Amino acid sequence: MTDKELFEKTEKVFKLKKENKLIENVYNRGKFKTMYENTSPIKSNYGDNSVSAARAAGRGAATVGGAIGKGLGALGRGVAGLFSDTKTGRKNEAEVRKAEAQARQEEIKAQQAQANLMGGKRNKNKQTKKPTDPERLKKYENDARYRRVWDAYAKGKERDVAASDIDYYNQVEDDINKGTINKAADEKAYQEIRNKAAANVDDIIKQKSPETYNQLTAKKQNDNFIKFMLGDELPQEDLKKIAFTISEVIKHNQTELTFIRNMIDKNRKLTPGVIKLFLEDLPLKAIKKPVTDEALKLTLRDMAKQEGIPYKDLILKLNKEAEKFKIGDIVIGPKGAQHEIMSKDGVTGTIIVKSVKGNKQVKRFAKDLKISQQKLDFDTAEAAEEDRFEQVVKRYR
């Protein structure tokens, strides 16, 4: 029989409550001495045996709830006073005090045991007919022993439940609470992994697609784009805005366009349907950004600074180089593309040429052209030459 079962049985017999008035009244009416003497195994040699009796009384008090602590203390002092003037008495007095301290410890344990037995380890949900917490509800529906104690608490009839069932119930509660703690730890670990993944996405966009990164950051859409890349569900309206912002950047930048499309297309966190919708809002191929006169003038100013000459002197220099060409001349660029000279632009020091194969007119620096005596057919070279001129402008921009 466990201590709790013994206590439960004692509690029912003596009809004990939280305060064991019955035992205190017995002691106060003077009948405790009779009870005390009956606990002594040998009625002779009163001093030595009183120590054992005090210990026994302490254990007995603790077993039934420990409500006679004050009486036990008085008893210990009274017994000690009978032989405090002798060496043996002082030794026995120390033993009595030790017994008294042990009895008080047992008293505290017994009171706690009684509180647990009468009240149980309750939580906020235990007053309901059924648990509301998923973990407890699952246990309630599949474990009759756990359900029996739960129902007893809910009905206020915990006294009708065996102490062993309460012990089992408390152990289940401890396991459930431990599981809750583990879930919190798992959530923390998951958040750390997610933060690291978000930082990686942010870094790779910044490194591989800087213009896109800058524009998303300027429009405060970078966080949402990272969430999208991590597989979070975002409103379609928000995704449309992000796609439009990216498109405005990458429609003139084939390098970033290719990177963004590949990054989204190979993202395993995204469903195929989401990937398809997002890619449909991005261009398939970047188009060349036209070089405007304003952009060209900014480039020329940068060129002047690099050569260490005034802007006007640079324009004079470029126009002088252009004088060797005449309107109607057939010229070839450094990559072999064939052009016809249409006119000259003295403001920017450039030559306006037209492709032999088409009607598109563009501006070129004289240093990038040479006279041709025969007509050539290098469409691929022509495209490469146009790219080179735009790269020059971009380098100085």
179 in a structural domain: yes
- Give residue 357's pLDDT: 75
* Winning range, highest mean pLDDT, from 183-192, 310-319, 381-390: 310-319
Residue range(s) defining the domain that contains residue 165: 121-208
* Domain end (from 64, 94, 119): 119
Reported as a pLDDT band with limits 50, 70 and 90, residue 370 is confident
8 in a structural domain: yes
262 in a structural domain: yes
- Higher confidence at residue 163 or residue 360? 163
- Give residue 237's pLDDT: 93
287 in a structural domain: no
Q: Return the ∠ at Cα 177 (arms to 173 and 179), rounded to 5°.
A: 115
CA distance 25 to 9: 20
Same domain, 320 and 372: yes
pTM for the whole structure: 0.40
- Output the average pLDDT for the chain: 74
Owner of token pair 């970047």:
286
Quick one: which of 13, 3, 5 has its CA closest to 165? 5
Owner of token pair 């390098």:
255
Stretch (H or E) spanning 45: none
285 in a structural domain: no
Same domain, 193 and 271: no
DSSP 151-206: HHHHHT-GGGS-HHHHHHHHHHHHHHHHHHHHHHHHHHHHHHHHHHHHHHHHHHHH
> Edge-to-edge, what's the strand order for the sheet holding 370-371?
361-364, 350-355, 338-345, 330-332, 370-371
Same domain, 235 and 314: no
CA distance 209 to 225: 13
Residue 123 in this model has a pLDDT that exceeds 70: no
Residue 268 in this model has a pLDDT that exceeds 70: yes
Residue 53 in this model has a pLDDT that exceeds 50: no
Same domain, 7 and 60: yes
pLDDT tens for residues 306-365?
889 999 999 999 999 999 899 889 998 777 778 888 899 888 889 888 887 777 788 888
- Give residue 77's pLDDT: 46
Q: Determine the average pLDDT of the residues in 44-72.
A: 41
- Give residue 72's pLDDT: 41
Q: Determine the average pLDDT of the residues in 365-383.
A: 64
Same domain, 217 and 191: no
Q: Determine the average pLDDT of the residues in 47-66.
A: 40
pLDDT tens for residues 189-219?
889 999 999 999 999 999 999 999 999 999 9
Q: What share of the chain is helix, strand, coil (3-state, %, to 5)?
A: 65, 5, 25
Percent of the chain surpassing pLDDT 70: 61
- Higher confidence at residue 179 or residue 34? 179
pLDDT tens for residues 237-263?
999 999 999 999 999 899 999 999 999
288 in a structural domain: no
Residue 290 in this model has a pLDDT that exceeds 90: no
Task: Give, to the nearest 10 degrees, the angle between helix 210-218 and helix 222-229.
Answer: 120
Instruction: Check residue 394 and give left, alpha or beta (phi > 0: left; psi -120 to 50: alpha).
Output: alpha
Reported as a pLDDT band with limits 50, 70 and 90, residue 372 is confident
Instruction: Check residue 66 and give left, alpha or beta (phi > 0: left; psi -120 to 50: alpha).
Output: left
Residue 31 in this model has a pLDDT that exceeds 60: no
**Inter-residue contact 75 to 28 (CB < 8 Å):** no
Q: How far lies 76's CA from each of 31, 73, 80, 95, 100, in Å?
A: 16, 5, 6, 10, 7
Reported as a pLDDT band with limits 50, 70 and 90, residue 28 is low
- Higher confidence at residue 30 or residue 2? 2
- Give residue 235's pLDDT: 93
369 in a structural domain: yes
Same domain, 140 and 129: yes
Residue 71 in this model has a pLDDT that exceeds 80: no
